[in-house]
Amino acid sequence: MEDIRNWETTLNPKVSLVLSNKKDAFVLQRAANLNVQSLVFSPSQLREPGEVVQKALEKNNINLVILAGFLLKMPDHLVEQYDRRIINVHPSLLPKYGGKGMYGDKVHATVIAAGENESGITIHLVDHEYDNGTHLFQAKCPVIKEDTAQTLATRIHQLEKDHFPRVICEYIIKLRKESYL
């Protein structure tokens, strides 16, 4: 979140709201430290049109939704309302190792078990299917013979930190040029 906020000098984006379905998510503390409003919601409040999540997004005039560490499927009404404006980062080189249930260490363990020699991240738009939207960017890292899910995760997290804020900002520029934001 801090990395995205550092682009303010050129793009003037604003992190206006942090949402989580987990009341103990570390991002909520980060939001509080940065004086960013946050909201904890239940999965049913995400799924229902006109419920808490949709109301919070609309009340705060949110025009771009960024998902990081978010494991729930975005409901159709939000995918349609925020068409081309929901971005996710996935810890593999999609289309490999994506889909329902493929997240975090599960992805890394599966990559290692499959004998892959590389892994990476995919930053993509969210559509109606898990990990299926248009790819905005991919970055690779090696899978080392001695890797565990945790050691591979360390390299994957570094890729996310190195690339996610930049790709978001590049996409904001693209959407503004197209008058879509």
Q: Which long-range CB contacts under 8 A does 137-145 form with residues at least 24 apart? A: 137/163, 137/167, 138/93, 138/94, 139/163, 140/93, 142/117, 142/118, 143/111, 143/112, 143/116, 143/117, 143/118, 143/119
**Looking at the DSSP assignment, which residues form a beta bridge with residue 120?**
140
* CA 20/CA 166 separation, integer angstroms: 23
Does 128 qualify as catalytic in the annotation?
Answer: no
Dist CA 126 CA 90 (whole Å):
11
**Separation of alpha carbons 43 and 126, rounded Å:** 17
Q: Please report, for the domain that includes residue 8, its CATH number.
A: 3.40.50.170
- Going by pLDDT thresholds of 50, 70 and 90, the confidence category of residue 4 is low
Q: Which of 90, 108, 124, 163 is catalytic?
A: 90
pTM across the whole model: 0.91
Domain span holding position 51: 2-177
Query: Looking up tokens 């960017």, which residue turns up?
Result: 137
Q: Does the pLDDT at position 47 exceed 60?
A: yes
Q: Please give the single-letter amino acid code of residue 5.
A: R
- Total of domains in the chain: 1
pLDDT digits (tens, 9 = 90+) for 123-168: 999 999 999 999 999 999 999 999 999 999 999 999 999 999 999 9
Q: What is the mean pLDDT of residues 57-68?
A: 96
